[in-house]
């Protein structure tokens, strides 16, 4: 029996058990294992942005429930995080479009663009016409069909948003997708006049 453990007898005749002040090896292993799992989960959430569906990195705190996180309203859209319609014009802050680039504030948030600049990266293409995830659909188009502008396959069903959009299936419903797809054939190289195979022989 380890020191500090074992039964003790009270002067009134009753007894009780005094546990060890030191955790057993088994207890320490269980505690370390639980701590590692907790740290791994935290790392996954922070580094990969893995949140429950619909929560995204923004739903940290959205006091007025307008689809925009409080911190983003304060720093980016400059709207009141405690008021759904800051300017009282009948349009929710999430659907305002202060820079007139065809994207609502909510879409700008999802696309990672500046809601107060029509062309965030200054490349001559307005944010609405940009394609943040490179899936072949502009940010504006993703807004109109309700998909995520920075996710090629919004519902993770194996079919890109563009493929589903063109097929007429729901890109936000994993159970809805094209029954079959035909791979696009790779074009056959066309030989240049007088050329043969090898470097410089194909256009």
Please give the Cα distance from 96 to 134 (Å, whole number).
Answer: 25
Rounded Cα gap, residues 135 and 88, in angstroms: 36
All residues at 6 or more sequence positions from 145 whose CB lies less than 8 Å from its CB, including other chains: 137, 161, 165, 171
Residues 47-72: pLDDT tens digits?
Answer: 444 444 444 444 469 999 999 999 99
Q: 115 pLDDT band (50/70/90 cuts)?
A: very high
Question: 129-161: per-residue pLDDT in tens?
Answer: 999 999 999 999 999 999 999 999 999 999 999
Q: State if pTM tops 0.85.
A: no
SS3 assignment for 157-175: CCCCHHHHHHHCCCCCCCC
């Amino acid at each position: 029996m380890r020191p500090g453990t074992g039964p003790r007898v009270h002067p009134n005749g009753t007894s009780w058990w005094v546990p060890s002040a030191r955790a057993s090896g088994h207890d320490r292993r269980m505690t370390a294992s639980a701590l590692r799992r907790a740290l791994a989960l935290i790392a996954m959430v922070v580094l990969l942005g893995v949140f429950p569906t619909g929560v995204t990195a923004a739903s940290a705190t959205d006091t007025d429930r307008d689809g925009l996180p409080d911190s983003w309203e304060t720093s980016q859209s400059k709207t009141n995080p405690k008021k759904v319609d800051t300017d009282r014009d009948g349009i929710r802050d999430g659907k305002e479009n202060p820079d007139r680039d065809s994207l609502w504030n909510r879409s700008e948030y999802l696309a990672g663009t500046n809601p107060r600049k029509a062309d965030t990266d200054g490349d001559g293409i307005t944010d609405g016409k940009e394609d943040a995830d490179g899936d072949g659909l502009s940010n504006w188009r993703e807004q109109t069909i309700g998909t995520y502008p920075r996710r090629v396959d919004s519902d993770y069903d194996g079919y890109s948003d563009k493929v589903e959009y063109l097929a007429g299936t729901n890109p936000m419903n994993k159970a809805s997708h094209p029954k079959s797809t035909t791979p696009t054939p790779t074009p056959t190289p066309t030989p240049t006049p007088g050329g043969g195979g090898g470097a410089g022989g194909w256009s």
